[in-house]
Amino acid sequence: MPEFLHRSKLYYNPVEFALDRIGGAWKMPILWRLNGRVMRYGELKKDIPRVTHKMLTAQLRELEEDGFISRTVYPVVPPKVEYALTERGQRAIPVIEMIRKYGLELMAEMGVQHEAK
């Protein structure tokens, strides 16, 4: 498959492209938490305590820009903002489930202890 450009970045295959959209330390955990529910920023931050405010904000913006989540702002004081999966985000959930299952299998094979959440 030939390389292709998207937003001035060169990609060599579709896996690389997909992982750039949903990969990294925080995008999949954010999408996973939004599966089947709407969450506010503070709820996401509380549910993913190791992510910094700066990183969470950046990842939410990227996911919104790429069409994986929607952001709804309510005109109230203090501001109320809610995040939800879009149809594109919903399509990412089975991929995340498969990666999670594979990760759990690898952990078991390699003797890595995991606390279920």
Mean pLDDT of all residues in the chain? 93
Total domains, the chain? 1
Could you tell me the residue range of the domain that residue 59 belongs to? 27-109
As a whole number of angstroms, the distance between CA 8 and CA 102 comes to: 32
Mean pLDDT calculated for residue range 38-49 = 96
Residue 97 lies in a domain: yes
pLDDT at residue 87 in the model:
98
| Residue with tokens 């925080």, as numbered in its chain | 26
Residue 1 lies in a domain: no
pLDDT at residue 114 in the model:
80
Q: Name the nearest CA neighbour of 24 among 63, 76, 53.
A: 63
Residue 8 lies in a domain: no
Residue 33 lies in a domain: yes
pLDDT at 117 exceeding the cut of 60: no
The predicted-structure confidence for 6-24, as pLDDT tens digits, reads as follows 888 888 899 999 999 999 9
What's 85's domain CATH number? 1.10.10.10
Residue 36 lies in a domain: yes
